[in-house]
Chain A
Amino acid sequence: MELQTLWFILVAVLFTGFFFLEGFDFGVGILLPFIGREDRERRAIINTIGPFWDGNEVWLVTAGGAMFAAFPHWYATLFSGFYPALILMLAAIIFRGVAFEFRSKLEHPSWRNFWDWSIFGGSAIAALLWGVALANIIRGVPIDASMNYAGGFLNLLNPYALACGIASLLIFTLHGAVFLTLKTTGELRLRSMRAAKNVWVPAVILSVVFMIYTYVETDLYLHLGINPGIIPVFSVLALLSVKTLLDNNASGWAFAMTGVAIAFSTATIFMGLYPRVLVSSLNPDWSLTIYNASSSPYTLGIMSMVALIFVPLVLLYQGWSYWVFRQRVTTDSHHEY
């Protein structure tokens, strides 16, 4: 396999990992003020993701670093072009990140309320914006001949991108709710179960809307061909199965299926994109591809060796940390946050 394709896959894998992992902690953050009605409950909810959220976020930092190293033009065009959206995203991520650490450090109810709603707001905005960003990448944005973004902020807020944003917001919320049914007990678990079932309906509807809309707005299906393969199909089936699994109290399987839905739909978008990395709406020839945006073969080779050695190691110890904290969190557990 050529190195550009390998790195396209690796960047896609990093983003997929990020959406899968950070997806549920976005969802938990969004549900926090609603499922957690009093302080102890909220602390228990935050503790379900307490040991993980920071490590999950590093998937984004690594994806950003990998883009920069492997496809500098992709990184430069995307990050400068989506400037106002990224500022908003960064503010959201900053707020929720410090909120986890700060919220329980003072007793005052308004202090805690402020940070709890920061966790909600930060998680919701970030979850929404990722959908918006992804939709724009595949739909195409005005990129000129010199690889520079030539549109404004409003170009990014088209109905298609907003539909994708709401879909990602709902799917992450569902993923988080299912995660909570897996990690909590008693009343909290019942409420999470109810929330999951309630969110499932609009999540499915918006996903269907998004898929039809994708047909109208992008060339994704054209790109994937008549037989799109099992990945897009499985992502739909996985999402549909979640309700039945929840009805049968199979939280573990339901979580696996929301995970599959997120991972496979992300994969579908990247497959539809390949070998492009950013579609130009002005002229197809001006799109950024893995060829015109990539680093030199030497750099890609070095990066490949580094990834080959360290990615398995990271997976191993992150997996171990999930194993260490596999038990459910109860409102009586020892609280850190």
Chain B
Amino acid sequence: MDILFLARLQFALTSVFHFFFVPLTLGLSIFTAILETAWVRTGNEKYLKLVQFWGRLFLINFAVGVVTGIVMEFQFGMNWSEYSRFVGDIFGVPLAIEALLAFFMESTFLGIWIFGRDRLPKAVHAASIWLVALGSNLSALWILVANSFMQAPVGFKMAADGSRAEMTDFGALLFNPNVWKQFPHVLAGGIVTGGFLVIAISTWHLMKGTRDRDAFITSMKFGTIYAFIGTIFVTMAGHTQMQHIMKTQPMKVAAAEALWETENPASFSLFTIGNEEKLEDVFSIRIPRLLSFLAYNSFEGEVKGIRELQEEYELRYGPGSYIPSIITAYWSFRLMVGAGTLMLLVSILGLWKIAKEDYRFSPFIGALFFWSMLLPWIANSTGWILAEMGRQPWIVFGLLKTEQAVTPASVVSAGELVLSITVFTLLYLMLAAADLLLIRKYAARGLEAGQ
């Protein structure tokens, strides 16, 4: 079997699985911190119970995020040794800073938060969960500094012998425009993920009529507002990010739109079945001018198509295909945007219910609120699939191709890869099952559950 395919498969598995847990950590840490602040300020026991309830779910989820994160850090060296040699001078730096600045803060203060309730003043205890939230979200910032170099490399020069990229400007790396488009998007994605989970579980309790109805109404309110704010931000951030990608990686946008030919004004595809070999539509429904509008906030404007970009790239980078898997890019983009649109509608419905103080949901509304918790997960995963698969064949855009980045077969063989993929898959399935079991149990148990 092809080692490139296997190494990519393993990276996809481990990173998508890791990112099942991370956004919830990002979003739920802030949410728990907000509730604990409410407890400190009001002294209302209801908030304390809610902190313990959501905090416990946060912890169950947190552990899996942490341990799968170690795999993420190690596997650049393990499976992508040529990549590590090529970009280590740049890429390693944000990774090291992430650990030093964010992971230490997150893990140390989490220990203090879990075990320190009886030993610390209330305000210090609340500060510790805020530091956990800060640490988690800072880690997202630093990993995105690293990822942004892959998407739009800046602040570097090539070594004289061409063997690696070397950092020349740390500030440029940090203030890479891509970071500041992508980070708000991921941050808001975390808030949305946390918010919809809170909505779902609160709804479940309100429908079941468990005790502490009052407290679950409070968390429904907090969760809905939180989810709504997150959804607005994620939509806006996604929009500006796409406009930025138009400039830095137009091929990714063209692939996500299945836009074969350059158009001005450009139409937006609602539904396309295309032929990737011949680069043409089999069947397509398109809305005229909408893509130009999304790209430039104007109904005029040229959006380059796949064919023209391929010709341009061949001139610039030499012969070869520069077209990513269009079916993957196209459908992951549609799933992400579709899930985002549904989240917006559901959170508006939620706001309306809250405004009317109507917490007796019909079975349909209840099911809608409950199952909407899956939407952020769909959007998070497909968003990353688009970001990474849409950049192909590049691992670092314009500098290094993915096929040049993989560890040589003489070092890590296909057999070893098959073995490691098997180990990780079994291990991760087991973790997912245990995690789900525990989350279900503790979510259903309600507020009394103490330890």
Which residues of A come within 8 Å of B, CB atoms? Answer: 47, 50-52, 54-55, 57-58, 60-62, 64-73, 75-81, 83-84, 86-87, 90-91, 93-95, 97-98, 100-102, 104-106, 147-150, 295-296, 298-299, 302-303, 306-307, 310-311, 314, 317-318, 321, 324-325, 334-336
Contacts and interface: CB of A to CB of B under 8 A. Distances in A.
Given A295-B89, A296-B166, 13 more contacts: A55-B108, A57-B66, A64-B74, A69-B96, A75-B76, A79-B76, A80-B78, A87-B419, A94-B70, A97-B63, A302-B170, A317-B108, A334-B118
A190 to B, nearest CB: 25
Contacts of A325: 111, 115-116, 119
A334 to B, nearest CB: 6
A218 to B, nearest CB: 23
A184 to B, nearest CB: 16
A306 B100 contact: yes
Interface stretch (B319-327, B344-352, B403-411): B403-411
Nearest to A90: B71
A306 B99 CA distance: 12
Main SS class of interface, B: helix
A127 B170 CA distance: 37
Contact of A62 (B71, B103, B114, B438): B103
B92 A69 contact: yes
B91 interface: yes
B35 interface: no
A87 B107 contact: no
Contacts of A54: 66, 107-108, 110-111
A79 B77 contact: yes
Contact of A58 (B76, B107, B119, B164): B107
A296 B89 contact: yes
Interface in B114-129: 114-116, 118-120
Contacts of A336: 114-115, 451
Interface of B: 59-60, 62-64, 66-71, 73-74, 76-79, 81-82, 84-85, 87-93, 95-101, 103-105, 107-112, 114-116, 118-120, 164, 166-168, 170, 407-408, 410-412, 416, 419-420, 423-424, 427, 431, 434, 437-438, 441-442, 451
B434 A102 contact: yes
A72 B60 contact: no
Given A51-B112, A65-B100, A336-B114, A98 B64 contact: yes
Contacts of A314: 100, 104-105, 108
Nearest to A297: B166
Contact of B92 (A83, A106, A295): A295
Contacts of B98: 65
Contacts, number: 226
Contacts of B59: 101
B89 A72 contact: yes
A75 B92 contact: yes
Nearest to B108: A55
Contact of A90 (B70, B112, B114, B168): B70
Contacts of B108: 54-55, 58, 314, 317-318, 321
Contacts of A73: 85, 88
A296 B73 contact: no
8 contacts: A68-B92, A76-B81, A76-B88, A102-B438, A295-B88, A295-B89, A314-B100, A318-B108
* Top-6 shortest CB links A-B: A72-B88, A79-B77, A69-B92, A65-B96, A68-B92, A51-B111
B69 to A, nearest CB: 8
Contact of A79 (B70, B81, B96): B81
B77 A68 contact: yes
Contact of A105 (B164, B411, B438): B438
